[in-house]
């Protein structure tokens, strides 16, 4: 009688163990498993957090991880590499995962998935996860917001540690918002991936721009009489206390049938630079026939890359009705303009990518640290490609003038807002490939030969998280370190009168 309890105890022990045993009998399948998120054949950095995943419509799942190319005497106990046994989710121990990735650097992991359905186990064909040599920047920051269109009730800028699952708030508009209108916060950016020099805008309630300059927080009203609007999209000069901005009049409209739903347009836009030390603004580009937008400094600080659409109003200037009729003709090319830091002067615009000739629109350029590649988002027209189903990420090789093959990272749904990591080997972008509606963050490996690899979604502790989370993660940015200013400090600063920029 007393021995009857033993199997039960063993079963209980097995259930509690983080390393479940493999089933003794199973049916071998010829396919790879369908897992969520799709981590099959992806390339990951050696410092990334565990890639937890789930399998749909099964009662139980076990995943066995093996390091490909490791010898039997590698000293790593293989039994450690089995996870699962908790319904349909595989959640990997963080310490063991990092240990595993450290051993697999430059090699790959082979993952065999076993699933149980109606009491019967199946084993799937193993799939690889490639582990790159190069690490990824440890932090990203992003806006978290409902996939909404007009209101700003609930909006926060958050940061996530990519080496673990820690997420924290940089600033939350609920600290200050009153009423339905709320406070819009946007356009967070950093100088050289460092948070000692960073900024973001506040709009509507307590408007102004929060700038952290060498660790010191200032609050500025970045609008003078000569500017179209308060400063918007921006980029820090890599070494000087200068930020390039576009200033613009934005309008947003809705489709009645298109599932892309929203069309964002600029009725006018210019580019300026703001000198933080002098608190002064200098106009860079303000051609009334050009909508110049999304300035981005090259890492050597000698160029501003940007995009521009040529548009001549038939009727009165900034006639929004006219733009609504012709929004599909608003297509942007990529340009750059040289900058002389000594004299603070700019050269002439230079076309670097003619998207219009291809009946496309190229926006949001970002230059690699070695200055060779330009990342950008390309869509059918306009500037907010996250709303365009056919939008995709492109990489232009400035040495050859050719586009790289970006098929491995693009999908049938919108991709947008891409940037390079500080070592150029990881590309961060936003995508709606999960369901077409909620924006998620993806990473792709960019190898030394300039090849792009299959991307992966930012891992979540609970693999179901992004399926259930009804908010978008938008506008992701890499960071080397977390933001040091606390949300409370930003809040208290926001209550002060912003400094007016000199005319």
> Is residue 257 at the binding interface for other proteins, with CB under 8 A as the rule?
yes
3-class SS at 221?
strand
> Is residue 434 at the binding interface for other proteins, with CB under 8 A as the rule?
yes
> Is residue 266 at the binding interface for other proteins, with CB under 8 A as the rule?
no
**Distance in angstroms (rounded) separating the CA atoms of residues 36 and 55:** 6
**Distance in angstroms (rounded) separating the CA atoms of residues 170 and 212:** 13
Q: Which DSSP state fits 324?
A: H
Give the interface segment with other proteins, choosing from 36-44, 134-142, 256-264, 449-457 (CB under 8 A).
256-264
**Distance in angstroms (rounded) separating the CA atoms of residues 293 and 306:** 6
Say how many residues touch other proteins, by CB under 8 A. 48
**Distance in angstroms (rounded) separating the CA atoms of residues 377 and 355:** 11
> Is residue 36 at the binding interface for other proteins, with CB under 8 A as the rule?
no
**Distance in angstroms (rounded) separating the CA atoms of residues 267 and 163:** 42
Instruction: Decide: 31 and 125 in contact? Cβ < 8 Å.
Output: yes
Binding-site member from 29, 169, 240, 403 for other proteins (CB under 8 A): 169
> Is residue 380 at the binding interface for other proteins, with CB under 8 A as the rule?
no
Give the interface segment with other proteins, choosing from 118-126, 219-227, 343-351, 429-437 (CB under 8 A).
429-437
> Is residue 289 at the binding interface for other proteins, with CB under 8 A as the rule?
no
Sign for the CA dihedral angle at 483, 490, 458, 239 comes to negative
> Is residue 252 at the binding interface for other proteins, with CB under 8 A as the rule?
yes
Half-sphere exposure of 215 (CA within 13 A, CB side): 2
Binding-site member from 23, 128, 146, 482 for other proteins (CB under 8 A): 146
Give the interface segment with other proteins, choosing from 279-287, 403-411, 431-439, 440-448 (CB under 8 A).
431-439
Short-list 109, 33, 106, CA closest to 66: 109
Residue span 452-471 as binding mask against other proteins, x where in contact by CB under 8 A, dash where not: ----------x-xx-xxxx-
Sign for the CA dihedral angle at 16, 20, 21, 27 comes to positive
Question: Tokens 């733009």 map to which residue?
Answer: 323
Write out the DSSP string of 387-454.
Answer: G-TT-EEEEEETTTTEEP--GGG--SS-EEEEEE-TTSSEEEEEE-TTTSSS-EEEEEEB-TTS-B--
Structure token digits, residue 327: 């929004």
Distance, C-alpha 90 to centroid of its chain: 25
Question: Of the two residues 154 and 424, which places its CB atom closer to other proteins in the complex?
Answer: 154
Binding-site member from 40, 43, 172, 269 for other proteins (CB under 8 A): 172
> Is residue 263 at the binding interface for other proteins, with CB under 8 A as the rule?
yes
Binding-site member from 167, 286, 327, 356 for other proteins (CB under 8 A): 327
Our CA angle for 336, 331, 258, nearest 5°, is 140
Q: Is the peptide bond before 268 cis (omega within 30 degrees of 0)?
A: no
> Is residue 176 at the binding interface for other proteins, with CB under 8 A as the rule?
yes
Give the interface segment with other proteins, choosing from 33-41, 167-175, 268-276, 337-345 (CB under 8 A).
167-175
**Distance in angstroms (rounded) separating the CA atoms of residues 62 and 122:** 10
Binding-site member from 19, 110, 438, 454 for other proteins (CB under 8 A): 438
Binding-site member from 68, 175, 192, 194 for other proteins (CB under 8 A): 175
Provide, rounded to whole angstroms, the least separation between the CB of residue 163 and other proteins. 22
Instruction: Decide: 477 and 157 in contact? Cβ < 8 Å.
Output: no
Give the interface segment with other proteins, choosing from 46-54, 108-116, 147-155, 215-223 (CB under 8 A).
147-155
Paired with 396 in beta bridges are 374, 403
> Is residue 412 at the binding interface for other proteins, with CB under 8 A as the rule?
no
Question: Of the two residues 68 and 411, which places its CB atom closer to other proteins in the complex?
Answer: 411
> Is residue 18 at the binding interface for other proteins, with CB under 8 A as the rule?
no
Question: Of the two residues 159 and 333, which places its CB atom closer to other proteins in the complex?
Answer: 159
Provide, rounded to whole angstroms, the least separation between the CB of residue 171 and other proteins. 7
Site for other proteins in 484-503 (CB under 8 A): 486-488, 491
Kindly list the residues in this chain that would bind other proteins in the complex (CB under 8 A): 146-151, 153-154, 156, 169, 171-172, 174-181, 252-259, 261, 263, 324, 327, 434-438, 462, 464-465, 467-470, 486-488, 491
């Amino acid at each position: 009688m007393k021995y009857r309890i033993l199997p039960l105890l063993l079963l209980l022990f097995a259930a509690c163990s983080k390393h479940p045993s493999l089933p003794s009998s199973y049916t071998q399948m010829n396919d790879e498993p369908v897992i969520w998120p799709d981590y099959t054949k992806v390339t990951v950095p050696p410092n990334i957090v565990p890639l937890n995943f789930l399998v749909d419509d099964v009662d139980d799942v076990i995943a066995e991880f093996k390091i490909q190319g490791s010898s039997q005497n590698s000293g790593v106990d293989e039994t450690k590499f089995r996870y699962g046994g908790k319904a349909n989710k595989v959640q990997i121990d963080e310490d063991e995962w990092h240990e595993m990735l450290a051993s697999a650097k430059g090699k790959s992991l082979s993952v065999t998935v076993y699933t149980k359905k109606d009491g019967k186990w199946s084993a799937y064909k193993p799939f690889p996860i490639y582990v790159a040599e190069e690490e990824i920047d440890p932090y990203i920051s992003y806006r978290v917001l409902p996939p909404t269109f007009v209101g700003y009730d609930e909006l926060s800028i958050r940061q996530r540690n990519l080496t673990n699952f820690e997420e924290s708030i940089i600033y939350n508009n609920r600290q200050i918002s009153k009423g339905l209108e709320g406070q819009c916060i946007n356009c967070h950016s950093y100088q050289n991936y460092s948070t000692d020099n960073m900024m973001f805008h506040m709009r509507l309630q307590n408007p102004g721009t929060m700038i952290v300059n060498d660790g010191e927080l200032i609050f500025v009203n970045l609008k003078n009489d000569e500017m179209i609007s308060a400063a918007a999209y921006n980029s820090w000069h890599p070494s000087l206390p200068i930020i390039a901005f576009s200033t613009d009049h934005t309008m947003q409209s809705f489709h009645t049938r298109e599932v892309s739903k929203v069309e964002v347009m600029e009725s006018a836009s210019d580019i300026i630079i703001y000198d933080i030390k002098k608190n002064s603004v200098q106009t860079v580009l303000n051609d009334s026939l050009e909508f110049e937008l999304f300035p981005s400094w090259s890492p050597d600080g000698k160029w501003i890359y940007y995009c521009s659409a040529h548009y001549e109003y038939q009727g009165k200037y900034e006639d929004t009705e006219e733009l609504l009729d012709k929004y599909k003709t608003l297509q942007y090319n990529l340009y750059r303009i040289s900058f002389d830091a000594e004299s603070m002067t700019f050269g002439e615009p230079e076309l670097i990518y003619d998207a219009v000739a291809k009946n496309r629109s190229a926006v949001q350029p970002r230059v690699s640290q070695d200055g060779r590649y330009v990342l950008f988002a390309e869509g059918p027209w306009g500037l907010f490609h996250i709303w365009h189903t056919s939008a995709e990420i492109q990489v232009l090789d400035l040495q050859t003038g050719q586009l790289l093959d970006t098929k491995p990272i693009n999908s049938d749904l919108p991709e947008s807002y891409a940037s390079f990591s500080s070592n150029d080997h990881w590309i961060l972008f936003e995508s709606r490939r999960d369901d077409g509606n909620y924006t998620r963050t993806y990473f792709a490996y960019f190898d030394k030969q300039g090849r792009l690899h299959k991307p992966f979604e930012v891992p979540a502790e609970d693999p179901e998280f992004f399926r259930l989370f009804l908010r978008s993660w938008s506008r992701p940015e890499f960071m080397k370190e977390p933001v040091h200013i606390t949300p409370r400090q930003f809040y208290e600063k926001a209550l002060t009168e912003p400094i007016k920029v000199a005319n």
